[in-house]
Amino acid sequence: MALLDRAHRIEVLSNQSETPNTSKTPIVFVHGGMGSAWVWTEYMRYLAKHDIPCYAVSLRGHGNSWHPSYLKMVYLTTRQNLADDAIAAIRWVQERQGSEVLLVGHSSGGGLSQGILSAQQARVKGLALLGAVPAFGSYGVYANWALFDPWFAVRMLFHGWHPNSPLSHPFLVKQAFFGDQMTEVGVADFQQHVNRYESFLWPISMMKPFAKAADIINSISGWGTSTRILILTGTQDKLMTRGVMQRLAAAFRRAFAQLVGKKKLDAKVDTDNSTGREGNEDDESCGVSLAWVPGAGHHLQNDVMWEIGAKKLLDFYEQL
């Protein structure tokens, strides 16, 4: 589909026909760095079995969307440029479906989604963050990467600072993106879809705090009726680790409680029932659900146990 003009076409994959199901809330999926709409195909097929309308956008320079030149994409494409593509997709889906969407973002796409809502550039019915870059900044995330890949910087230097350097070998792809159970065949198939090059400004712009939890909450409708934010991560995610995701959930819950306390949000503050135990670790409070996919790595939607995460997303969707 063309969201901009004939020369700047944005790819949107959908599980809907020309006459979409408008009786249910649509989902818009936003991929992360080096990804495309393709990474959501398993989830979209799974959700199609439940008659849920799904749309996945490929931001410029990704998938089958238009591609800026290498230099323009890598050094001049900003997070807002990419956000503009996601916003165009959200608005198109809302108009087509006649409903606000559930926005789902993975990794840097989750960061992008938080930035969009924090800037009040879209209003949605719910937000699901899958292994997402946290709104408080990603310095810790890249510190995690350096810990499990100590040759990261040296390799980048030898590769002429090419953005694909950290994922230039199947071993590196599996190490960064998948859990122990992922097969070599699965990694090879995934690597065929990895983007040719990526924007540097996108992740750099999210190193420091870039979005406010309270502003994100205020861009989500329906508070007080159900949980509106889902944070979903693999237990073997080496980038968005347990501590990072727990801190993100805590930030949203704290902002929620403050907004309710100041009577700026019509909802009730409930007790945090977090257990912190791997045997029973999913928890829900203050309108925020924190859930885990056992054994999954960073790309939980493409890992061997992807269906566990899809089911948890479905459960979140059905209670909206």
pTM of the predicted structure, to 2 decimals:
0.94
CATH code of the domain containing 263: 3.40.50.1820
How many domains, the chain? Answer: 1
Is the residue at 2 inside a domain? no
Other Cβ atoms less than 10 A from the Cβ of 21: the count is 14
Query: Residue 59 is encoded by which pair of tokens?
Result: 């931001």
Distance CA 86, CA 211 (A): 16
The whole-number average pLDDT for the span 69-97 is 97
pLDDT at residue 151 in the model? 82
Closest to 210 (Cα-Cα) out of 159, 109, 265, 138: 138
Is the residue at 178 inside a domain? no
Looking at this protein, which amino acid is placed at residue 188? A
pLDDT at residue 6 in the model? 63
User: Could you tell me where the DSSP H helices lie in the chain?
Assistant: 41-48, 70-76, 79-97, 108-118, 139-148, 152-158, 170-177, 184-191, 201-204, 213-218, 242-261, 306-318
Is the residue at 154 inside a domain? no
Checking if the pLDDT of 160 tops 70, the result is yes
Is the residue at 149 inside a domain? no
The whole-number average pLDDT for the span 298-315 is 98
- Which residues form the domain of 124? 11-140+196-318
C-alpha dihedral over 89, 91, 97, 100, to 10 degrees? Answer: 110
pLDDT at residue 274 in the model? 56
For 222-245, write each residue's pLDDT tens digit: 998 899 999 999 999 999 999 999
Looking at per-residue pLDDT, the higher value among 3 and 244 belongs to: 244
Closest to 33 (Cα-Cα) out of 194, 237, 147: 194
